[in-house]
Structure 1
Amino acid sequence: MRFLPVTSNALLVELAELGQTLALLASLQRDPLYGVDELVPAARTILVHFRPSATSAAALVRSIAARDLSQRVERGSVLVKIPVRYDGEDLAEVAHLLRITPEEVVRRHSGSEYTVAFTGFAPGFAYLSGGHPSLDVPRRSTPRTRIPAGAVGLAGTFSGVYPQASPGGWQIIGVTPMAMWDLGRAQPALLQPGYRVRFVDIATLDGAFDTGSVGRPVPDVSPAGDRSSHQSAARGAAALKVKGTGLLTVFQDLGRHGQAGQGVSASGAMDQAALKTANRLVGNRSDGAALETVGGGLQLQSHGETVLAVTGADAPLTVRTTDGRQWSVPSHQAVALADGDTLSIGQPVAGARCYVAARGGFAVAPVLGSCATDTLANVGPAPLKVGDLLGLLPAPAGAVVGMPTLPAPDLPNIEQEVVLDVVLGPRTDWFTRESVARFAAQRWRVTPQSNRVGLRLAGEMPLERAIPGELPSEGTVLGALQVPPSGQPVLFLADHPLTGGYPVIGAVAPHHLDRAGQVPVGAWLRFNPIGAFEELNSTELQPSAA
């Protein structure tokens, strides 16, 4: 095993091959380690999220290094049969790479039994191992910007099915009409780790298709799942009518943790401290749902009497009455609105995102235990649109409105360079020594292609790799700085994919994640490594003798 630093609350365990990875995963699931919150397995790694208040990287390394990897994991008893139309746009190219006919590719793919090794990339996306040994093909050199839902693909020795339309670099050999992800099911992800999978050529079928133990075919390729709509206000209850949405306004809370087994990342507010403050100011629980809006333009009209608080970015706030009177109100304190009053948020002068909490909380239905909107995975309440009526819940008895506070003193803006502390790893050694130095010395511009998934950065000189090979997909954390072939990093934010296939040179330290979530487009970043990159060595971390 190798133990690689990721950030102050996560480490990466690297193993020799998939069998060892599954053996260690089974061991850690049978006998969990205290302080570990979540495990994200991949082809040759396990990402371990832990609570620093409960354990340490050193203690985890010692415990994990002592685990027995000799026991191989047996395949599960559940068999899922997936019908496939083998007409994918890369089928001929795959046949050419393997020097066989397209018909032989289909025969080998449908003639093997697979096992769900792990999940990631997107909700319901399963990495399937154990197919015909000859089916080993590289990812596409240039990923497609859109692959349809249900696309069946190959990458390396793995096979997989895209649960929703998304970008991707796998070689597409067919498509299935079966839904991989359906929020209408008790278990939304059709394929779970350990399940057995067999692909069936639709051309060979006659009549109804037997789906095996679980799953059901659907008439057309379906998206990732229907997202819940906002609950309208009950008759006579207070509500907010959306008169303007700005660039994007979504519901967020502290995120949906613990769903990695279904390929679902946490999402949640980009500036979690600001969300907690907004809720405190109106007397709500700190983890309640609030609105997150980018830039200016959000307008909310009060139906009945309401109390709101706006935190996060430093933006001007205006209240306008139905008869046309208007005045400015401060942020970071509770604001009472009368029936018909409209609160408007202007363009921030510092920061990028504002958070709006309403006394009593929003009447919005959670999805998988959270009201967070994951814009990449398409999970959670839909983004707000003009005309939506947002119902509010009554405030609980005894709820106390919080005292006014001030915006964060270090909100990023485009006038000054934003410095973010980073932890180097886990793949810093995949880059040349010059590039590691350049990563910290050079400043990076936040491009307009940035969003809740990540900040796309542009520097004068790209980062160069020392190891040119392909990295097997592995778990990624919030704040990871992944470097694609262009050499221009992407800083992963709240809606980042659970796993990624490009090396991560470092990760923003947890104490600067809220700041990263407030960086506006056009700002300049510098990264400050808070230590050298070093593997976590189990022998060197042994406690000293008394």
Structure 2
Amino acid sequence: MTTRFTFGGDEHIFVEISEEMSLEAFFKSLSITNAVRDTEIKGVTEICPANASFQIKFNPDLIHPDDLLTELKRIEQNADLSDAVLNTRIIEIPVFYQDPWTNETLMRFRERHQDPTVTDLEYSARINGYDTVESFIAAHAGSPWFVSMVGFVSGLPFLYQMVEREKQIQVPKYLSPRTDTPKLTVGYGGCFSCIYSVRGAGGYQMFGITPMPIFDPEQKTSYLKDFMVFFKPGDIVKWKPINREEYDQALAEVDAGTFEPRIREVVFSLDDFNKDIEGTNTKLEEILYAN
């Protein structure tokens, strides 16, 4: 990985760790941004991590841009990934695949799609070599996903599939964005899955919908009373396919304030994962579903 530093106007430095997403790039970005935070560099006002990059906002009246650049390069050179271990959590997210609401929406925007004759799931299954939509859904929900970034829209997580690169699902975004996407749609674009935290425009393929709120600015949701945004970078997600009855039940529990996501604390080691991806994923699921 060759790190690239560029200035963004008078108050930002953009740091690209890698041109492609990988867990190694994420952990290096995390290591550097944590070091920037812990060093408490005078003049740094904001640290914004992304999938394989990050951006630093600074006050040029308090630190010269060249001095900050020198300090960031020093921190980058000292970044140590030999013991990349993260104390994090694994979370079960219920998904109603092939739901009527995303299906109605995608049918309104077929002229913007690569193949107007099929649904998003049918298209995604075909171009990834799956014989049926059901087998494609099983692949999407079969392995854990790593939250590499939260943002773009408030509370929206970008999720990276935790499998060998040759097994990763890849699906292009719509040819041109939709003007509507249902709230809590589970989408897909490039190599990333996501959850649309609010209703609005979007270009990702639509696979389904979750009943579980992930962003609540009023903080009325039972598990969002401490912070309005549910996800944070480093979270691990396991999709759980559900049917309409289960979806309606979960919605009723959310409305009643009794819905509680299944969450377990875990320790994730990048070295252990790279040595045995399938074994690591199995252990994560065992922790998630242990009584």
- Smaller-chain TM-score bracket: 0.5 to 0.7
Q: Residue in 1 aligned with 2:94?
A: 83
Identity over aligned pairs, percent: 26
Aligned counterparts of 1:167 and 1:141: Cα–Cα separation in 2: 13
Aligned counterparts of 2:247 and 2:185: Cα–Cα separation in 1: 23
1:255-270 correspondence runs (5 A):
none
The 3 A distance-change label for structure 1 pair 52 and 198 is: same
Aligned counterparts of 2:249 and 2:38: Cα–Cα separation in 1: 36
2:60 pairs with 1:36 = no
Q: Residue in 1 aligned with 2:211?
A: 177
Task: Classify the secondary structure of the residue corresponding to 2:243.
Answer: helix
2:51 pairs with 1:15 = no
Task: Classify the secondary structure of the residue corresponding to 2:229.
Answer: coil
RMSD: 2.7
2:128 pairs with 1:94 = no
Question: 38, 58, 80: which is aligned to 1:70?
Answer: 80
Alignment gaps of 5+ in structure 2: 19-24, 104-119, 220-224, 257-291
Task: Give CA-to-partner distance per residue, 1:375-401, whole Å, 9 cap, x none.
Answer: xxxxxxxxxxxxxxxxxxxxxxxxxxx
How many residue pairs get matched? Answer: 215
The 3 A distance-change label for structure 1 pair 135 and 85 is: same
Question: 235, 254, 264: which is aligned to 1:218?
Answer: 254
Aligned counterparts of 2:185 and 2:239: Cα–Cα separation in 1: 13
How far apart are residue 201 of structure 1 and its match? 0.4
Q: Residue in 2 aligned with 1:201?
A: 241
Question: Does the aligned pair in 2 maintain the 1:143–1:168 contact within 8 Å?
Answer: yes
Question: Does the aligned pair in 2 maintain the 1:14–1:46 contact within 8 Å?
Answer: yes
2:36 pairs with 1:3 = no
Aligned counterparts of 1:143 and 1:97: Cα–Cα separation in 2: 20
2:85 pairs with 1:49 = no
Question: 162, 178, 189: which is aligned to 1:144?
Answer: 178
How far apart are residue 73 of structure 1 and its match? 4.3
Q: Which has the higher helix share?
A: 2
Which residue type is aligned with residue 231 of structure 2? Answer: L
Which residue type is aligned with residue 123 of structure 1? Answer: S
Aligned counterparts of 1:170 and 1:206: Cα–Cα separation in 2: 25
Task: Classify the secondary structure of the residue corresponding to 1:181.
Answer: coil
How far apart are residue 116 of structure 1 and its match? 1.9
Task: Give CA-to-partner distance per residue, 1:50-85, whole Å, 9 cap, x none.
Answer: 011111221111111112333264344322211101
Q: Residue in 2 aligned with 1:119?
A: 150
Which residue type is aligned with residue 160 of structure 1? Answer: C
1:297-336 correspondence runs (5 A):
none
Task: Classify the secondary structure of the residue corresponding to 1:140.
Answer: coil
Aligned counterparts of 2:247 and 2:180: Cα–Cα separation in 1: 32
Question: Does the aligned pair in 1 maintain the 2:95–2:242 contact within 8 Å?
Answer: yes
Q: Which has the higher strand share?
A: 1
| TM-score for both structures, normalised by structure 2 | 0.67
Q: After TM superposition, what 4+ stretches of structure 1 lie above 4 angstroms from structure 2?
A: 204-210
How far apart are residue 98 of structure 1 and its match? 0.7
Question: 201, 208, 215: which is aligned to 1:167?
Answer: 201
Alignment gaps of 5+ in structure 1: 211-215, 221-546
Aligned counterparts of 2:140 and 2:243: Cα–Cα separation in 1: 14
Which residue type is aligned with residue 178 of structure 2? Answer: R
Task: Classify the secondary structure of the residue corresponding to 2:212.
Answer: coil
Aligned counterparts of 1:55 and 1:39: Cα–Cα separation in 2: 15
How far apart are residue 155 of structure 1 and its match? 1.6
Q: Residue in 2 aligned with 1:61?
A: 69
Which residue type is aligned with residue 203 of structure 1? Answer: N
Which residue type is aligned with residue 196 of structure 1? Answer: I
How far apart are residue 29 of structure 1 and its match? 3.0
Which residue type is aligned with residue 98 of structure 1? Answer: N
The 3 A distance-change label for structure 1 pair 199 and 76 is: farther
| TM-score for both structures, normalised by structure 1 | 0.37
Task: Classify the secondary structure of the residue corresponding to 2:88.
Answer: coil
The structure showing larger relative contact order (alpha-carbon pairs under 8 Å, at least 6 residues apart) is 2
The 3 A distance-change label for structure 1 pair 73 and 35 is: farther
Aligned counterparts of 2:88 and 2:73: Cα–Cα separation in 1: 30
The 3 A distance-change label for structure 1 pair 76 and 202 is: farther
Task: Classify the secondary structure of the residue corresponding to 1:148.
Answer: coil
Aligned counterparts of 1:208 and 1:112: Cα–Cα separation in 2: 25
Deviates more, 1:41-50 or 1:130-139: 130-139
Question: Does the aligned pair in 2 maintain the 1:75–1:115 contact within 8 Å?
Answer: no
Task: Classify the secondary structure of the residue corresponding to 2:230.
Answer: coil
Question: 21, 32, 47: which is aligned to 1:24?
Answer: 32
Which residue type is aligned with residue 60 of structure 2? Answer: P
2:135 pairs with 1:104 = yes
How far apart are residue 180 of structure 1 and its match? 1.1
Aligned counterparts of 2:61 and 2:247: Cα–Cα separation in 1: 58
Which residue type is aligned with residue 5 of structure 2? Answer: F
Q: Residue in 2 aligned with 1:242?
A: none
1:384-403 correspondence runs (5 A):
none
Task: Classify the secondary structure of the residue corresponding to 2:201.
Answer: strand
